[in-house]
Structure 1
Amino acid sequence: MSPWDALGIAPTRDVATIRKAYAVRLKETRPDDDRAGFLRLREAYDAALAWAVSSDAKVLKRSEQFVFRGDTPNRQDPPPREWADETRADVVEPLPRGAAQAIANAFASGDIVVGSSLFAKALTEGQLALRDELQLADWLVKLLAYDVALPAEQLLQIVDRTGLHDRINQPRSRFLSNHRSPLAKLEERLWLPILLRRAEAGDASAQLSLARLYKAGEQVPRDLAQSVRWLKAAAEQGLANAQYDLAVSYRNGVGAELDGAEALKWIRLAVEQQHPAATFDLALLYRTGRGVAQDHVEALRLYEIAAKLGHMYAQRQLGMIYWNGKSAPRDDRLAVHWLRAAADQGDAEGQFHLGRCYHLGRGVPQDHAVAASWYRKALAQGHVRAAAYLGKLCENGTGIPQDLAEARRLYEIGAVQGLAFAQVNLAALLTTSKGGAVDLPTAFRWFLAGAEQGDIAGMNGTGMCYVFGRGVERDITKGLSWLAAAANRGQPNAMHTQAALLFDGTVTPRNLEQAYIWASLALRTYKSSDDKLPVLRDLYEKICTMLSVDNRTRLDTAVAHWKADTQSPVPSSR
């Protein structure tokens, strides 16, 4: 077997190629694991290197006839040298004569420039044994890593000349995770100059990376104008990510003058390359009519493209379009499909709405347990409405075990964040001992918080608290005002209470006709399963006995034409 076969390369006089091939093979044949194999590999390397730098016919002939000699090498391998801390100039181990000694002396004296020049020359001329080459290279890495006075550009020149460039792969995660390694420190010092060199040489991906660094102010001073300069250079080479970033810069006026037309130009170019985020943004422009003529059909088409490209927000948006049936015909099956796609990517809003699909049985068979699981996933990401809806399932024990204490906890998450639905449901539990102690003052505060946001159940609760002095000082006027507001907006409990108070005549003057109207409206508004219906029917029959048939017929006409006034003003809480 020839040395070239052993090294896995074709015959070459390029010393750098031979060294690189040997380094690759060395990773597969470590001295500690396979001593004999390592010795055979080194013989192949020495033979190939000798052939590369020699014009002697005998040397050439020997390399051509080179074969492995089995597990009994002819020469005894010398023990590896334990070199001292190479970063210290006052400690120098005995070194071999010749080139290696001269290089080591220069390194030991701290003369990196001279030492690296000698090292580069020795490498080019093949003057170093592999062991010396590797140890001197490690020493040079340490010197370069800790020499803070050496300018980065000169540092880069030394790395290039000495063949260390291949070791600097700019894997930033490596030097962040192993920041004490000399090689890692050298990488940290050099990756930016290397990136800048690549960018200036026209490498579009390097230009984009540099632009993003300037925008973030990471490793370089923040410079938005420089960011846009490099973005434009990369974008003009057709890099879709750069085209999109440049469009965003023009759209937001960051690093460049605000220019909607220029933003639209670059975003369209990125869309032509099926850039997901650009496609989503262009769809949004068509949906809202910003910078382009509003076109829901085109917006839908672009959303579908972006969704199919895997854009999470496009998937969710498309799902909501089909759920609401506004910009496109309602299609529950497609809504579920796209909401699930977004949910599977971790979109909290998509997870919540997919939970709603299962909760309501829209596009999928109704399954409260599955709904609860999606609500939990959304809640884990801080989705407030998911907490409230999961609380409702816990309160009712629907699809999951009933847990009123947990329902209180979940409602409170939403209540604290200002969700009226959660505020009112929490207040309702606090008026009872369900899931914890009765707390009427806190219940009133949550009822009022929900009422002030226009929640009709909150208005009803606030009115009841004022009328009966529950958790707040009794105030009949305020109570009746809140009850009337809730009833006028269609809240059945408030209608029922209005009817009862007007019939009784204790809190407010008796008015049988108004009592009849509110009782009739409550009867048609309550759900058929509501447990208050028997009490309401009994009240209605009592009112009927006190009104003539003609009066009831006339009032029934008013009831038939009644419509909830959702725009009526909310009473003042002061």
Structure 2
Amino acid sequence: MASNPNLPMAQFHLAGCYHNEVGVDQDYTKAVELYRSLADRGIPQAQIALGRCYENGEGVDQDYNAAIEWYSKAADQGSEDSRLHIVFLRGWFSFIGHGVEQSDVDAFHHWQEVSTESVDPVIKPIATHMLGWMHYLGRGTVRDESRGIKLIRENKSDRFPLGEDECLAGYDASRPITSASRRFYQLCELGCDRNWLCRHLVAICLINGFGAAKDEAKAAGIFEQLARDGHSDSQFWIGECYDRGLGVLVNESTSLHWSSEAASQGNSYGQWTVGYSCLNESGSNEARTRAAAWWKKSSEQGNRYGQCWLGVCYSNGYGVTKNIDTAVNWFRKSADNGHRWAIENLRRLGQWP
């Protein structure tokens, strides 16, 4: 009864059951067949669903042109969701130069529109995450690292569990594969041959198991090549790989080499980790002084990890003159950016909340 052509919405929901494995075995091909029969009759919900199947390569060969064609049919009927899917894809095409001239400015404006106006649980967080990178690197807009980091940090959610810790600060952990994470990984792969940032993000996905199975060795290989090309965020990450044995053998000297390379380019995360390395050398007063100096450089760029450790230095007199008021100031800056250990230090000092 549900597949009766006189009951189009029942047929649409049945297609969704096949697509999402609800009450029946998953069958993308059957879902596409049902969606297409409805899309050909001009039903916008089915046109959008069919467009997504073409975009994701589910039940059909992946075909972005066909996806945009079906999205356009729904958009012509007033579907804002479909229009924003087109804008989202055009953002990626502009970013990687896929069928159009490469333009960071166009990519930025497309993603900004999606981030601001979409409510889609897949494309909205991806667009917002990429906006964070654009601000952080100054691509398509004026460079504003703090704004970019804040966007990446606050965009993290259960559906898109890739925030500052996992993306910029080197904390690797297995992440559930969600529709948004899988789509993000696929789009980054699409741009791998044309855009260094896409390659870097593929490596981040692989190191975290974000949208794809974990592959630390492959991730480390990508990071190291990009590090040799001079990209400071990749230099920081390969330093972390050698420090913790992520896809490579632990090698402290190689780790310090790459962290120092990142730090010398002004990378605040590299400066933060070089500070650690100074303390690990000996714990002497001279080492503490150098550590505090690196954490100050990191802190002055708004890095919440560097700010917390600079607070520790002032709280204990490590490499600087002990000053509780200054310690509280740095802890508060870090805490305002959500650093939990900074909050604990303020509580210990009776300064939180």
SS of residue in 2 equivalent to 1:281: helix
Q: Which residue of 2 aligns with 1:328?
A: 320
Which secondary structure state, in structure 2, belongs to the residue aligned with residue 287 of structure 1? helix
Tell me the amino acid that sits aligned with residue 258 of structure 2. W
The structure whose RCO (Cα within 8 Å, separation 6+) is larger is: 2
Cα distance in 2, alignment partners of residues 233 and 87 from structure 1: 50
Alignment gaps of 5+ in structure 1: 1-82, 89-108, 120-131, 179-184, 358-370, 378-574
Structure 1 Cα separation of the partners of residues 337 and 344 of structure 2: 13
1:265 maps onto 2:257 in alignment: yes
Paired residue type of 2:51: V
- Report the secondary structure of 2:247's partner residue: coil
Determine the C-alpha separation between the residues in 1 that align with 2:184 and 2:336.
Answer: 36
> Counterpart amino acid of 2:234?
A
C-alpha separation in 2, matches of 1:297 and 1:146 = 53
Q: Which residue of 2 aligns with 1:150?
A: 60
Pick aligned residue for 1:223 from 215, 219, 228: 215
In structure 2, stretches of 5+ residues that fail to align are: 1-6, 13-31, 73-84, 93-113, 125-177
User: Cα–Cα, structure 1 residues 232 and 147, in superposed 2: closer, same or farther, change >3 Å?
Assistant: closer
Query: Which amino acid counterpart does residue 312 of structure 1 have in structure 2?
Result: R
- Please say if 1:174 is aligned against 2:167: no
Summarize deviations over 1:183-223 as a string: whole Å, max 9, x none.
Answer: xx99887544332110122x122112211211122321211
Does residue 282 in structure 1 map to residue 274 in structure 2?
A: yes
> 1:287/1:137 Cα in 2 relative to 1: closer, same or farther (>3 Å)?
same
Counterpart amino acid of residue 141 in structure 1 = G
- The structural deviation recorded for 1:110 is 4.4
The one-letter amino acid of 1:327's match is G
**Mapped contact 1:289–1:295 kept (Cα < 8 A):** yes
Q: Which has the larger radius of gyration?
A: 1
Q: Cα deviations across residues 125-175 of structure 1 (Å, max 9, x unaligned)? A: xxxxxxx89899647426647984324xx3346447878783544889833
CA RMSD of aligned residues (A): 4.7
Residue identity in the other structure for 1:166? I
1:141 aligns with 2:74: no
1:282 and 1:142 map into 2 onto residues whose CA distance is 45
Deviation at 1:257, TM superposition (A): 2.5
The alpha carbon displacement at 1:276 in A equals 2.0
Change (3 A) 1:273 1:326: closer
Matched, 1:208 2:200: yes
* Equivalent residue in structure 1 for 2:189, among 171, 177, 196: 196
The share of aligned pairs that are identical, in percent, is 16
2:121 aligned partner, one-letter code: F
Deviation at 1:285, TM superposition (A): 1.0
Please name the residue that 1:313 is paired with.
305
Distance in 2, matches of 1:163 and 1:339, equals 49
Aligned length: 238
- CA deviations on 1:76-129 (whole Å, 9 max, x unpaired) are xxxxxxx956977xxxxxxxxxxxxxxxxxxxx94999xx9xx9xxxxxxxxxx
Whole-angstrom CA distance in 2 between matches of 1:286 and 1:320: 15
Q: Which moved more, 1:343-352 or 1:262-271?
A: 343-352
Name the structure 2 match of 1:551: none
- AA matched with 1:262: T
Q: Which amino acid aligns with 1:299?
A: A
> Structure 1 residue 308: deviation in Å?
1.4
Following the alignment from structure 2 to structure 1, what is the Cα–Cα distance between the partners of residues 57 and 11? Answer: 10
- Could you tell me which amino acid in structure 2 is paired with residue 194 of structure 1? L
C-alpha distance in 2, partners of 1:309/1:191?
Answer: 28
For residues 347 and 181 of structure 2, what CA distance do their matches in structure 1 show? Answer: 47
1:198 counterpart letter in structure 2: G
Shift in Å at residue 294 of structure 1? 6.2
Deviation string, structure 1 residues 464-506 (Cα, Å, up to 9, x no partner): xxxxxxxxxxxxxxxxxxxxxxxxxxxxxxxxxxxxxxxxxxx
Distance 1:246 1:160, change over 3 A: farther
1:343-492 matches, within 5 Å, as 343-354=335-346, 357=349, 371=350, 374=352, 377=353
Cα deviation, 1:397-416, whole Å, max 9, x if unaligned, reads xxxxxxxxxxxxxxxxxxxx
**Distance change in 2, residues 1:296/1:241 (3 Å):** same
Secondary structure, aligned partner of 2:192:
helix
> Conserved in 1, the CA contact under 8 Å of 2:181 and 2:211?
no
Q: Which residue of structure 2 lines up, in the alignment, with residue 340 of structure 1?
A: 332
* Matching residue of 1:568: none
3-state SS of the aligned residue for 1:220? coil
**Could you tell me whether the CA contact under 8 Å between 1:204 and 1:233 is conserved in 2?**
no
Render the CA deviation track for 1:221-242: whole Å, top value 9, x for unaligned.
Answer: 2111221123234434443322
Residues 493-543 of structure 1: CA deviation (Å, up to 9, x unaligned)? xxxxxxxxxxxxxxxxxxxxxxxxxxxxxxxxxxxxxxxxxxxxxxxxxxx
CA distance in 2, matches of 1:246, 1:143: 36
Q: From the superposition, tell whether residues 298 and 221 of structure 1 become closer, same or farther in structure 2 (CA, over 3 Å).
A: same
SS of aligned partner of 2:295: helix
Structure-2 separation of matches of 1:306 and 1:208:
22
Paired with 1:142 and 1:314, the residues of 2 have a C-alpha distance of 42
Q: Does structure 1 conserve the Cα–Cα contact (< 8 Å) formed by 2:184 and 2:211?
A: no
| Post-superposition offset of 1:320 | 2.8
Cα distance in structure 1, aligned partners of 2:121 and 2:318: 52
Deviation at 1:266, TM superposition (A): 1.8
Q: 1:243 to 1:198 in 2, by over 3 A?
A: same
